[in-house]
Structure 1
Amino acid sequence: MSALEELLAAGARVVEEGLSPGSSGNLSVRDGDRILLSGTGVPLGRLRPEDVAVLDLEGQHLDGAEPSKESPLHVAFYQRDPAHRAVVHVHSASAVAVSCLEPWSEHSAIPPLTPYFVMRVGQTPLLPYRAPGDPALGDDLLSSPWAMRAALLANHGPVVAGSTADEAIGRTVELEEACRIALLTTGHPRRELDAAATSELARRWSSPWGQRTTLTAARR
């Protein structure tokens, strides 16, 4: 499957998973030294080749449709870690709701309530509020000191990376479920996984939890 085919299939899957209402959200796939990104205002479930923008790894528009205004988020994740080959940004309801709350901790907005969140997503820091499309969103993500595969943008929603589009979407689904469970248990005497359990899960599944980043991200 080509990178373009992967991106178009990812758009359909995001909608099937109920993560992208209306024309909200944007997706990208890295293809060598290029980024294929959904165009601005395009419903992801009806993404066509002519709706795709082509950027370089610095975020410069090379070809195709007008890129989503959230392109700095995608560029920042690719600059943080060359292992990332796909990025998903959506406005799924539970994750947006949690992004409007005070974070559970400095390194993760969401508590470790299930092993699956720790295993599949890992710590998910809350980044500061910025207006949608503000280039500083990318700067915040790029400069975050925490190792991460996902982040919540305050009062906005999640952004998630993976080695493939399917992996990034799977993590987005797991993150949405973790946020839903966090909301359902808020205000109740809930039982979180303890530090030993989270550390062991993170170690076994090579998932970030409590660590600061050791990546040499390219600073802009």
Structure 2
Amino acid sequence: MSEYSLRLELVNIARSMFERGYSSGGAGNLSLRLPDGNLLATPTNSSFGDLDPARLSKVDMDGNHLDGDKPSKEVLMHIAMYKARPDAGGIVHLHSAYLTALSCVDGLDPTNCLPPITPYYVMRVGKLPLVPYIRPGDPRMADEVGRLAVDHSAVLLANHGPVISGKDLRSAMFNAEELEDTARLYFTLQNSKMRTLTDEQVAELEQVFKGKL
């Protein structure tokens, strides 16, 4: 796919997520890996709803600004995740309502913030580890995301929101949507006796579907 086509794809995916309530105002950021190894990302203080494909930020894997508008200060954590996950082609960072609410819950299991409620959470994300609170833009956030991303396709930033990767940006969007839906189910079931998948059921899903979505 050409760079121009990828620019249009990023803009279209961003607009779709904005229109469906996954992002508001200038919250969150998206990125994708270009064929030349550089990255396209949403610019700082931009809205998912009205991006201009010609003004998207282009950066290299060292964070140097190559073209377009100034990149978000959070592009460093995107770079860290790409470096940790060479097969990742797209990353979604959201401040979506249910996942951000989850990131503010005290006492989460830091190794996996959500129980295995559905097979689709396990198939698409697996586990969701927690990054302790770090100020947005602090370089330590990128370090923590990169450390966890070696073994995880998504992480949850405490009191902030999720960072989710995929084989391309479309897959990252699907993974983000599945994760947000799982968080919504988690809160919906809080006053019910929740039945989760067993360890054996999770292991079967991991064996059958690992790397296929």
- Normalised to the residue count of structure 2, the TM-score between the two structures is 0.91
Q: CA deviation at 1:189?
A: 2.4
Q: How does 1:97-136 map to 2 (within 5 A)?
A: 97-102=101-106, 104-136=108-140
Shift of the 200–104 alpha-carbon distance from structure 1 to 2, 3 Å rule, reads farther
Correspondent of 1:65 among 58, 65, 69: 69
Q: CA deviation at 1:146?
A: 6.2
Correspondent of 1:198 among 195, 199, 202: 202
- Which range moves more in the overlay, 100-109 or 149-158? 100-109
Match of 1:19 in 2: 22
CA distance in 2, matches of 1:19, 1:72: 22
Match of 2:142 in 1: 138
Structure 1 residues without counterparts, runs of 5 or longer: 208-220
CA distance in 1, matches of 2:176, 2:57: 22
| SS at structure 1 position matched to 2:113 | coil
The code of the aligned residue for 1:13 comes to S
Task: String of CA shifts for 1:39-70, please: whole Å, max 9, x gaps.
Answer: 01111110102431111012111221110111
CA distance in 2, matches of 1:83, 1:64: 25
CA distance in 2, matches of 1:146, 1:182: 26
CA distance in 2, matches of 1:100, 1:5: 34
CA distance in 2, matches of 1:108, 1:53: 32
Q: CA deviation at 1:103?
A: 5.6
Correspondent of 2:160 among 156, 159, 164: 156
Correspondent of 1:6 among 9, 19, 39: 9
C-alpha contact (below 8 Å) 1:20/1:91 kept by paired residues: yes
- Normalised to the residue count of structure 1, the TM-score between the two structures is 0.89
Match of 2:92 in 1: 88
The code of the aligned residue for 2:86 comes to P
CA distance in 1, matches of 2:206, 2:27: 32
Q: CA deviation at 1:184?
A: 1.5
Cα RMSD for the two superposed structures: 1.8
The code of the aligned residue for 1:111 comes to P
Give the percent of matched residue pairs that are identical in Structure 1 and Structure 2: 38
| SS at structure 1 position matched to 2:59 | strand
Alignment partner of 1:165 is 2:201: no
Structure 2 residues without counterparts, runs of 5 or longer: none
Q: CA deviation at 1:71?
A: 0.7
Correspondent of 2:83 among 66, 79, 84: 79
C-alpha contact (below 8 Å) 1:125/1:146 kept by paired residues: no
Match of 2:193 in 1: 189
| SS at structure 2 position matched to 1:88 | strand
Task: String of CA shifts for 1:161-180, please: whole Å, max 9, x gaps.
Answer: 11111110111010000001
Match of 1:41 in 2: 45
CA distance in 2, matches of 1:177, 1:22: 21
CA distance in 1, matches of 2:203, 2:108: 17
Shift of the 68–145 alpha-carbon distance from structure 1 to 2, 3 Å rule, reads closer
